Amino acid sequence: MKTLLQRFLKARGYSIYRDVPRDLANPLGVELAAHAALLRAVLERAGVNLVLDVGAHQGGYRDLLRASGYGGEIVSFEPVSASFAALEARAADDPAWRVHQLALGRAAGTATLNVARESNFTSFLEPNDFSVARFGGSAVDRREEVEVARLDAVFGELTAHVAAPRVLLKTDTQGWDLEVIEGAAGVLEHVAALQAELSVRPIYEDATSWLEVLARLGELGFRPAQLTSVGRDDALGLLELDCLLVRKGAR
């Protein structure tokens, strides 16, 4: 009966949450619901017809997009061998989902990726002491040499069959997001919306501060639509935020 009631309410746009959340270190259900609602609205209002999913891991963002009602083209990028194998297997069931074993950044070439014990912490940056002490799984397990491309150098090939591309560019690259976006400088006019991860309390060495990233994204023509917590420390201070942004001047 409880499940039927939840489904009935969800179909009408309502959700039920506990009055006292048990876990305050991770995003609250209401935060995730707000993010999903804003993501759906941005996809619709911006007329997005292509999502570039950078740092796809094993395809969680694709699942969120499909659950939000987006049925258009998705291109995912994942450089880690093991994660890409899982991603490629999953993409076989979705004809509108293409995947590439490739990293994106400011400069083309090859680079050393720090593959973490828990692969979602993998980064070009080294985890700091706080990160390893708190998460454990962020410690480096091995290193892989991976290919890196600029997005604006491969954009034409990616969009060859997409008429008038209107792109949502999502980056979740563990401290590397601004590098990805700077490598898209030549095609940002096609990017109607962005989603980037902001480091409020850094968990990687030399990570760009969240305020610097926001300032740079503002210079590039984007403004925030939604901030969603990714995690909190023991004092409930924010660690990271997912930031959804829209192009300035759009109505």
The CATH number for 35's domain is 3.40.50.150
Q: Is the pLDDT of residue 105 over 80?
A: yes
Residue 207 domain flag = yes
Q: Taking residues 13-19, what's their average pLDDT?
A: 60
Task: Indicate the range of 3-7, 65-69, 110-114, 154-158 predicted with least confidence.
Answer: 3-7
pLDDT band at 2 (very low <50, low <70, confident <90, very high): low
Give the side-chain half-sphere CA count within 13 A for 75.
23
Q: What percent of the chain has pLDDT over 70?
A: 90
Q: Is the pLDDT of residue 163 over 60?
A: yes
Residue 132 domain flag = no
pLDDT band at 23 (very low <50, low <70, confident <90, very high): confident
Can you tell me the distance from the alpha carbon of 243 to that of 195, in angstroms, rounded to the nearest whole number? 5
pLDDT band at 1 (very low <50, low <70, confident <90, very high): low
- Residue 57 belongs to what domain range? 24-105+151-246
Q: Is the pLDDT of residue 18 over 60?
A: no
pLDDT band at 249 (very low <50, low <70, confident <90, very high): confident
Residue 133 domain flag = no
Residue 97 domain flag = yes
Residue 141 domain flag = no
Can you tell me the distance from the alpha carbon of 73 to that of 28, in angstroms, rounded to the nearest whole number? 29
Q: Is the pLDDT of residue 140 over 60?
A: yes
Residue 182 domain flag = yes
pLDDT band at 16 (very low <50, low <70, confident <90, very high): low
What b/e sequence results for 66-104 when a residue is b if at least 16 CB atoms lie within 10 Å of its CB, and e otherwise?
A: eebebeebbbbbbbbeebbeebeebbeeeeebebbbbbb
Can you tell me the distance from the alpha carbon of 241 to that of 198, in angstroms, rounded to the nearest whole number? 5
Q: Is the pLDDT of residue 13 over 90?
A: no
What b/e sequence results for 150-175 when a residue is b if at least 16 CB atoms lie within 10 Å of its CB, and e otherwise?
A: bbbebbeebbeeeeebbbbbbbbbbb
Can you tell me the distance from the alpha carbon of 38 to that of 77, in angstroms, rounded to the nearest whole number? 23
Residue 112 domain flag = no
Classify residue 3 by its DSSP letter.
H
List, for residues 167-209, the tens digit of each pLDDT value: 999 999 999 999 999 999 999 999 999 999 999 999 999 999 9
For the chain, what is the domain count? 1
Tokens of 197: 């991860």
Q: Taking residues 224-230, what's their average pLDDT?
A: 95
Residue 7 domain flag = no
Classify residue 221 by its DSSP letter.
T
Cross-strand partners of 109: 148
- pTM, to two decimals: 0.89
Q: Taking residues 47-55, what's their average pLDDT?
A: 97
E strand intervals along the chain: 50-54, 73-77, 97-100, 103-104, 109-116, 140-149, 167-171, 191-199, 222-232, 238-247
pLDDT at 83: 96
